[in-house]
Every structure is written in C-alpha cells, then in structure tokens.
Structure 1
Amino acid sequence: MDAFSHLQAGLRAVLEANAPGSTVEHVVVALPSFSMGETLLAHYATRLPSLEHRYLLGALQVGRTPGAHVVLVTSGPPSGDVLDYYSRLASPDDPDDARRRISCLVVPDASPRGVAAKLLDRPDLLGELRERIGGRPALVEPWNVTEDEVSVALALGAPLNGTHPALWSLGFKSAGRRLFTEAGVPVPSGVEDVHDREQAAAAVALIRRIRPHLDRVVLKQDNSGAGDGNWVVSTRDEDGRRVPRSRLGTDAFGVVPDWFAADLAAGGVVEELLRGRRVSSPSAQVDIRPGGEVRVLATHEQVLGGPNGQVFTGCRFPAEDAYAPELARHAAAVGVRLAGAGAVGRVAVDFVAVRRRGTWSVHGLELNLRKGGTTHPFTALRHLVPGVYDPGRGWVTHADGLPRCYRSSDTVEDPAWVGLPPGRVIEAVAGAGLAFDHGTGTGVVLHMLSALERDGRFGVTAIAPTPAEADEMYAAVPSALAGQRGTSMARAAARRSPSGSAASASRIRW
C-alpha cells in the first residue's frame, strides 16, 4: 500500500467525527484549490481569493458540530467583519465560540495557480498548518484533487475527501459521455475524443446524418469547468442553409478563438445543442462515501449566461418537480459506476431537460469529480436549516417538516459598489429585513464579499419556503443597497460632479 492509500484508509473515521452533533475534537482543512488548466485559471486570476472565500460557507458547520475546527486555506485574507458574520450565522447564541473555531491560513500569492500549489511553495506555512491541527484527527476538503492536493494531504498527514487524481480523467467530457451510456443515462447525439477543427467538422457531419434538422452544436473541451470550456457554433449560414461539409471546418468553426482551438488539442466533444419549447440546465450533487455508499444530496436548476449561454452564473434549488426524481435516479446510477471505479467525495452531474409536446426528456451532459458551483449554496442550506433531501419534495427540514428553496448567485454587482466595505453590505441587508433568521429558517446569506473591492460584486443565497419567495427575496437585495457607494465610485463621482453624486443602476447578472 502506498503512502496516500494508507492515509486514505483513515478517511472514514474522520468523516464520522465530522458528523453533526459530534463532540470529537477534529480539524477540517478547507482547500478550495482550483487546480485547472492554465487558460481557465488565467481568466479568473484576479478573482481567485474571492472565489476561495465562497467556502467560508462550509465553516457554518461549527454551529452543528461542536468538535469541529475549520481552517480555510486562501491566497487572500477575508476581513474581520466577514469572519464575524459567519460566526454569528453559525452560532447566534455563542458567536465567540464559533469565531474561535473558524480561522484562515493565508498564502500571500497572487499568481494564477491553485492555492494547493502555492502552499507547497511555503513549507513554513505547511508547518504552521500542522501546528494548528496539533495531532487531532483531520481531513482535507478539496475543491478538486490533483497531485498538488495529494502532496498537501501527505504533508499534513490528513486524508482527502476526494477522488485520487489517477481517476481524474473519468470526469472528462468524453469519458463522461461513455459512462452515462454505460449507466443507462440518455445523452444528446455527439462524438467524443475530438482534437481539432477537422475532427470537429467530421463529427458535425456524422451528427447531421442522425439529426437532419441540426442547427447548432456545442464544442466542449474535455478538461474544463464553469462552462468556460464550452463553445456554441452554428452549422447553418445566415440564411439558415446547412454549411457544406467541405466548409464546416472553416466557416462554422471560424468563430472559435485561437486559445480554444489550442486547448481542444487535449481532447473534447462535439454535441448536439438540444432545442424544444422549454430547455433547462439542471444538475445533481452526489456524495460517494468510503466503502462505496452513494448519496444524492440535491438537484438544482443552473442559471447560465455568458456570450454562449454556457457559463454558470447561479442556481435555483430544487430542480423542477416534473423531472427531479429522474435526475436523482440517473445521478445515483452514475455515482454507483464511479464508486465502483474507486471515486470518493463529491461529484457534480449536469443534465439538459427539454420539453416537447408536453413531455420533459432528460439527457446527461457531463460529470465533474469535484465540487461545483452549486456546492456552496447547498452547504449554507444544510448547515443553517438542517433537513434531508427528498427528490419528490425537495429539502424537508427537521425543525418543521416543511420545504425550503433558494435562489443563489455569485454575480450580484454594481459599479457603484466597488470598494464598498463588506460590513456595510451586511448591515444594509439586515436593515432591509432580509438577513437570515434562524427562527424561521429563511433569509439571505451572503458570500464572496471580498469581491466588492475588485469589481463591486458579491454572492447571495436567498432561502425561503417557496421558489417564488426565494426569487423575490433575491431580487430585493440590490434595492437594499440603494444609495450605497464604494470608495472607488465615490472618488470617480466627485471628479464628475461638484455635488459628488452619481447615478448608477444596480443589476443582477444571471
């Protein structure tokens, strides 16, 4: 047995110590290390610290698990008022105790790399983290697992709640399509293992023979995330005529940028873009425990945006009643296959749901052997409103047996808020009566507040009894900040106007 396998043998015991109600002293090292391709990391380089701070929502577990201590490893420090905010959320009756059990280890490095790689460059900080663990049981909760995360775990002597990097390619788009098929999950017409424009053109020609009315396809890089590795291309010209096979490689794929074509050399998929009277993008979260137990944790409706409508910007929980049970069945079947291959930890499974002639059909799109964009809002829900997921009812609370829903996004923003202190946002939301209320199990939970400094952005999860109420609460957040001005906008406004005032309309980017 190699060193990592020996380390992983202790994962089950630490997970048991980390169960709600446990008084066993233990440490959870939150390691939101986005160990992805260079292109993707370069795109998000300046946002990495705020994206890492989303996982402070995981620190809310200290309110339910008295023995838990959470250390967030991050490349930029959250402010003190943000840590105080999460401490009050976690334990409103004893926030001081929660604050003692929530801490950060800051690795001051602004390079576009995962924080695990940055930590490995700092043996002094690794030593400090070992001292904080202090011989207590510990586990590492990663975003994804590469050799860097394994090296951190070995250096700490703490098992990883994630899949061994040797299995990482199981989550690639091509491998995912094959696994869906093996698990009996329908997939759109498509071709795997595409590496260049010529192969992509040949794939389109093949799909057109199966789907004569094909209009658009999605070109997907095998190893990508957040929809940034997806590109929608048309297979018809401006007059709606099919682009001839001889010109598909140049005409239809001429809009694909050079960086995308270069990254595609590592492999990808061409897939039919399904159409119907209604189309949605649901997903499911699966947890695979040591020993192979598979649990479907939640289903969501993803909110997509960006130039191609493929970039994740937020979500709604739960997924539509009409197909949520089907999503859960498919996700469980995928989880069983992955567990059989040795996968452990979180898995995110993405689907497309299409309504035609009054009937919904569900197709598997891709799977990710890691946490995803729906992980942190669901984490807030399960720690603040304990309950259980029922595919037929959604989240059923332990306290009152009634459902809870939410609307969440990482992209509530306004240029006027650039430089706005997080504390003022927290106060404004509370002043508008929107703050989370433990008594009712409803309200707004904030995250990613450090992004205010860079681009006037923060995250919101609005928890309510019904989807309509969650949407209404979510939409009320920008109004709660009406009139708020950050330092950068205030200085710009002062230069423009003798009165120092400036008008700016807030927006929520979906």
Structure 2
Amino acid sequence: MADPDDPAAPAARFRRLQAGLAQALAAAGPGSTTPHVVVALPSHSMPTRLLDHNASHLPALEHRALLDGLRLAHTPGAHVVVVVSEAPAPEVLDHYAWLARPDDPDAARRRMTCLVVPDGSARGIAAKLLSRPDLLARLRAQLAGRPAVVEPWNVTEDEAAVALALDTPVNGGPPDLWHLGFKSASRRLFRRGGVPVPPGVEDVRDTADVAAAVVDLHRASPSADRFVVKLDNSGAGEGNWMFSTSTAGGRRLSQEALAERISTEAPGWFLRDLRAGGVVEQWVAGTGSLPSPSAQVELLPDGEVVVRATHEQVLGGPDGQVFTGSRFPADPAYSADLAGHATAVARLLADRGAVGWASVDFVVARHGRRHAPFAVDLNLRKGGTSHSLAALQHLVPGTYDAAGGRWVADADGGPRHYRSSDAVPVNPGTDAAAALSAVDASGSTFDHARGTGAVLHMLAALGPHGTVGVTAIGRTAAEAETLYDDVAATLAATGGP
C-alpha cells in the first residue's frame, strides 16, 4: 500500500498544491484585475447507476457551469475555461457574453472559452479529460503561467488528478473526505454538530437490517408507519425508497413479513446497491406539507465558514424525492435556523480539512406556528441550486444576510428573489436561438438596469429532452414567481403552430 505521506504520493502532492488555494482564490476574487484563469470543471463523479441513468442529460448538466462565465461581469482580470463533453451552440456563448458585458460582449466572448472533450460515455468530465492527455496539455497551455483555480462540481480522485496534472489548486476536497457526505456518515456528523435528524438507523446493508431497524424505531414511536431507506452513496433523491410497515387494512407487519415485503417490492438494483450501506429514517410528520429547504455554505482555506444562501427545494418524481428546482431564499420563519445548523456542520468539516462548497438539505415539520428543521442530507459539492445562485451573484452582486434570510444587492440595497428550474418544457424542435429570441421578445430577458429578469441555462437539453433551465430573478418572491410563469408560458408556445 502506498504511503500517503510519501512526498511523491498523490495525496501528499495534492496537499502541497492546495497550500496555494487561498492565494489563487484571492487572485480570482470579484473585481480582480490580476490576469488569472478559472477552470470550471462540472464533473459529475457519481455512482455508476446515477451516471447511467443521467447519461443523456450529462451534457446539459455540464452546461450549467457556463453560468460561471458571468463572473466576467465584475472581474476584469478573469479568463473562464469551461470543460464540457459537448460544445454549446455559438449563440448560447454569445448570449452569456452579452449578459456578462452588455457594454462590450465581444470582450467577454474573448475571455470565455470551452474545452470540449468529445466523449458521450456515462462518465464525469474529469475522467474523460484524464483519458485525453492531448487536451490536458492544451488546457495547461491556456493557463500560460497565470494564477489559476479549478472550480469543480465535486472532488473525487479524478478531479484531484486533473488538478495535479494542471498543477493548479482546486476549490474543494480533499477527495478522502468524500465519504463524509454519504448518508450514514452525514447523520453521525449532524449529531456531533448538535443538528436535529429524523429518528433513524445507519449502516443497514440488507432487508433483514432494514426490518430490524424499523422494529427498533417502532419502540420509540409505535404509531410511525412511513419510512425511507437511503443508499449511502446517492444524491438528488435518487437512491431513496419509501415504504409502509402496515397492510392495506392497517395491520402492523411482523419483522419477518416486513423483510419479505422489502425483498419483493424494492427494485433489484436498489437491494444490490444497499449492500454497500444505507440508512433507514422515519418519515417526518407535521401539519400540512413538509417544506424541503437547503442551506449552502462555502468553506474558505483559512477555516472560515460563510453561509452563501438558503433555498426552498422543489421536489418531484414518483415519491416526491427528486430535486426539480428551487426558490430563493428559504422561508424567513426558519432560514436563520438552517444557516446555523449548516454552519455547525461546516465547522466540523473544516476541522477535517474540507474546503469549497457544501450544502445541507432539511425537512421542516410544522406544528401550528412552530417549525422544526431536521437535517436529511449533506452534499460535499455544488448542487442543484449552485448555478442559479451563480447567476444571481454575478448579475446582481450582493451579500446573503444569513440572520435576515435575504439577498442584499450592492447596487441598490434592495432584496432579490428567484424561482429556478432545470426542466421547463419547450415545444419539440425548438433550438437555443429560438428559445432565447422568444424570451427576449417577451420582454423577460434579464434587465441589467433594474437587476431583474430571466436567465436561461441547460439549453443543450432542448434537443434530447425538450426542456430548458430557467432562473427568474425578481425584487419580490411574487415578482420572481410571476416572471417564471410568464417565461414558462412563452417557452411552451415557442415553435408552436
């Protein structure tokens, strides 16, 4: 076994490389005139089942990172390189250049480039790039000795290897902490941080473990009937399976009968992947619907934790567990609690050497006027809300007030809200140029003077899926919601008879 402290070992080399992260981030900060490069690496290094399931969607998911190019709006020294597996349409890059610099889009266009790794396989873009040393060499040449930083979606061994090949620090990692975002490990971390979690049992690996866990949980909560099993290494609600512990007539199943139900009703792939570990959680009950908010934090190289945002997640799918969009910010009735809980967890992560982005997902039980948040997931990466937040940060620079639960714009001191989705339906056959033109003709495109309007993303999904992403920014929640609905209606009519 290799010694990780051997100066030649990848882990030791990565630690030395990361010693320059603070300096690289300072060179790339808002307003910086220092010539530098930001390498956006939207590498979705996920379990094979998730990559296979999302294979046709990977190019569009990668294109969410194009919104990072909007940093050119306020950072004159930046050059942004986005690594993708499919080239975006020229009109998409032209549109983002205009969004970043309406006064001089040509200048912005020259400072934003894409490195295309033409590979349609179900792998993260970092793995694809590592298999193309010629493209790695081209990317190294683009850095041209300038300060640089890699902005990843997540950091596993693949992303760390890309950083080492580029000799450039990465705003994330180290990869040996990746497992802390797994469900069993994150529940333990939540408890250590004093963050409430739903009643549950970690480290279950088969149907017998799940049934035994439910029996244990029933001792403390005899009336509980709904439970969810979550695979340790999963995300975005994929890898969650819900079940009831009673018959249709309301009779409680025995432990043996429950194990049999799980064996026959859970998908075969789910039971196979459960062997690697998972958790059982009691479904949180409350009055009315259960909000599912999240809190996003950034862990800086000096150990400081900054709360960047809170969101209300919009969930869908067969069991209402799959992320489909968000509203920013989260409800002020509990957003400060979310920020406090996420900060407590992030400090534990920082103590372990974690840096970069992380988020905590919650469910909130309502009991009359009381709100009780429970942490249900930890993501040591960017997530489904990161790209929409990037659009707000770059187009309406400001600060998230964690205590007040609101965005305060630098330009006017006023708040901003947004409604976002990655999957707004568009008429079949609509291309990127038509979608952008339709939104522009409707008067909904982002208005720089007012600091409100709609930004489209994931335009690569138009062809294969007939959908596009929308982030609608308003001065009030109602304005953002109305704008989102108007854009969705415009897109639904685009290309129609």
Q: Common fold, TM-score beyond 0.5?
A: yes
Identify the residue that residue 132 of structure 1 maps to in structure 2.
142
Identify the residue that residue 437 of structure 1 maps to in structure 2.
447
Identify the residue that residue 269 of structure 1 maps to in structure 2.
279
User: What is the one-letter code of the residue matched to 1:44?
Assistant: N
Q: Indicate yes or no: 2:128 matched with 1:92.
A: no
Report the Cα offset of residue 311 of structure 1: 0.5
Report the Cα offset of residue 221 of structure 1: 0.6
Q: How does 1:207-222 map to 2 (within 5 A)?
A: 207-222=217-232
Name the CA shift for 1:336/1:131 in 2 (closer, same or farther; >3 Å). Answer: same
CA–CA distance in structure 1, aligned partners of residues 401 and 265 of structure 2:
43
CA–CA distance in structure 2, aligned partners of residues 135 and 339 of structure 1:
30
Q: Indicate yes or no: 2:447 matched with 1:463.
A: no
Identify the residue that residue 123 of structure 2 maps to in structure 1.
113
1:275-314 Cα distance to aligned partner (Å, 9 max, x none): 2113110100010010211111000000111111111000
8 Å CA contact retained: 2:310, 2:405: no
CA–CA distance in structure 2, aligned partners of residues 107 and 473 of structure 1:
36
CA–CA distance in structure 1, aligned partners of residues 170 and 98 of structure 2:
28
CA–CA distance in structure 2, aligned partners of residues 133 and 373 of structure 1:
29
Identify the residue that residue 150 of structure 1 maps to in structure 2.
160
Q: Indicate yes or no: 2:41 matched with 1:24.
A: no
1:427-456 Cα distance to aligned partner (Å, 9 max, x none): 100111111001111010100001101111
CA–CA distance in structure 1, aligned partners of residues 143 and 440 of structure 2:
35
CA–CA distance in structure 2, aligned partners of residues 271 and 352 of structure 1:
12
Where 1:430 maps in the other structure, the secondary structure is: helix
1:5-28 Cα distance to aligned partner (Å, 9 max, x none): 111111110100111110011111
User: What is the one-letter code of the residue matched to 2:103?
Assistant: D
8 Å CA contact retained: 1:299, 1:328: yes
Q: How does 1:289-304 map to 2 (within 5 A)?
A: 289-304=300-315
Report the Cα offset of residue 485 of structure 1: 2.8
Report the Cα offset of residue 343 of structure 1: 0.5
Structure 2 counterpart of 1:333, from 322, 328, 344 = 344
Identify the residue that residue 259 of structure 1 maps to in structure 2.
269
1:108-152 Cα distance to aligned partner (Å, 9 max, x none): 000000011111111110011011111111111111111111111
User: What is the one-letter code of the residue matched to 2:236?
Assistant: A
Q: Indicate yes or no: 2:419 matched with 1:407.
A: yes
Report the Cα offset of residue 483 of structure 1: 3.9
Q: How does 1:165-176 map to 2 (within 5 A)?
A: 165-176=175-186
**TM-score, normalised relative to structure 2:** 0.96
1:437-488 Cα distance to aligned partner (Å, 9 max, x none): 01111010100001101111100000001111111111111321354238xx
Structure 1 counterpart of 2:169, from 149, 153, 159 = 159
8 Å CA contact retained: 1:234, 1:252: no
Report the Cα offset of residue 252 of structure 1: 4.5
Q: How does 1:334-373 map to 2 (within 5 A)?
A: 334-373=345-384
CA–CA distance in structure 2, aligned partners of residues 240 and 470 of structure 1:
44
Report the Cα offset of residue 250 of structure 1: 1.4
Structure 2 counterpart of 1:81, from 91, 104, 108 = 91
Q: Indicate yes or no: 2:389 matched with 1:378.
A: yes
Report the Cα offset of residue 233 of structure 1: 1.2
Identify the residue that residue 194 of structure 1 maps to in structure 2.
204
Name the CA shift for 1:483/1:373 in 2 (closer, same or farther; >3 Å). Answer: closer
Identify the residue that residue 287 of structure 1 maps to in structure 2.
298
Report the Cα offset of residue 239 of structure 1: 2.0
1:202-250 Cα distance to aligned partner (Å, 9 max, x none): 1111111111111211110111111101111111221232222221111
Structure 2 counterpart of 1:103, from 113, 121, 126 = 113
Where 2:191 maps in the other structure, the secondary structure is: helix
Question: Unpaired segments of 5 or more residues in structure 2?
Answer: 1-6
CA–CA distance in structure 2, aligned partners of residues 340 and 316 of structure 1:
31
Where 2:233 maps in the other structure, the secondary structure is: coil
Question: Unpaired segments of 5 or more residues in structure 1?
Answer: 487-500, 502-510
CA–CA distance in structure 2, aligned partners of residues 253 and 191 of structure 1:
19
Name the CA shift for 1:150/1:6 in 2 (closer, same or farther; >3 Å). Answer: same
CA–CA distance in structure 2, aligned partners of residues 255 and 58 of structure 1:
43
8 Å CA contact retained: 2:453, 2:483: yes
Report the Cα offset of residue 251 of structure 1: 1.6
Q: How does 1:412-427 map to 2 (within 5 A)?
A: 412-414=424-426, 416-417=427-428, 419-427=429-437
Q: Indicate yes or no: 2:334 matched with 1:323.
A: yes
CA–CA distance in structure 2, aligned partners of residues 70 and 151 of structure 1:
20
CA–CA distance in structure 1, aligned partners of residues 50 and 119 of structure 2:
18
User: What is the one-letter code of the residue matched to 1:138?
Assistant: A
CA–CA distance in structure 2, aligned partners of residues 103 and 444 of structure 1:
23
What is the identity percentage for the equivalent residue pairs of Structure 1 and Structure 2?
57
Identify the residue that residue 457 of structure 2 maps to in structure 1.
447
Identify the residue that residue 250 of structure 1 maps to in structure 2.
260
Aligned residues: 485
Report the Cα offset of residue 359 of structure 1: 0.9
Name the CA shift for 1:231/1:93 in 2 (closer, same or farther; >3 Å). Answer: same
CA–CA distance in structure 1, aligned partners of residues 493 and 49 of structure 2:
37
User: What is the one-letter code of the residue matched to 2:373?
Assistant: V
CA–CA distance in structure 1, aligned partners of residues 305 and 112 of structure 2:
29
**TM-score, normalised relative to structure 1:** 0.93
Identify the residue that residue 507 of structure 1 maps to in structure 2.
none
CA–CA distance in structure 1, aligned partners of residues 84 and 166 of structure 2:
16
8 Å CA contact retained: 1:235, 1:252: no
Identify the residue that residue 4 of structure 2 maps to in structure 1.
none
**CA RMSD of the aligned region, Å?**
1.1
CA–CA distance in structure 2, aligned partners of residues 466 and 88 of structure 1:
25
Report the Cα offset of residue 366 of structure 1: 1.3
Q: Indicate yes or no: 2:395 matched with 1:398.
A: no
1:166-193 Cα distance to aligned partner (Å, 9 max, x none): 1111111101111111101011000001
Where 1:140 maps in the other structure, the secondary structure is: strand
8 Å CA contact retained: 2:430, 2:462: yes
CA–CA distance in structure 2, aligned partners of residues 380 and 473 of structure 1:
16
Where 2:420 maps in the other structure, the secondary structure is: strand
Structure 1 counterpart of 2:216, from 201, 206, 219 = 206
Where 1:223 maps in the other structure, the secondary structure is: strand
CA–CA distance in structure 2, aligned partners of residues 106 and 357 of structure 1:
53
Where 1:274 maps in the other structure, the secondary structure is: coil
8 Å CA contact retained: 2:335, 2:405: no
CA–CA distance in structure 1, aligned partners of residues 414 and 362 of structure 2:
27
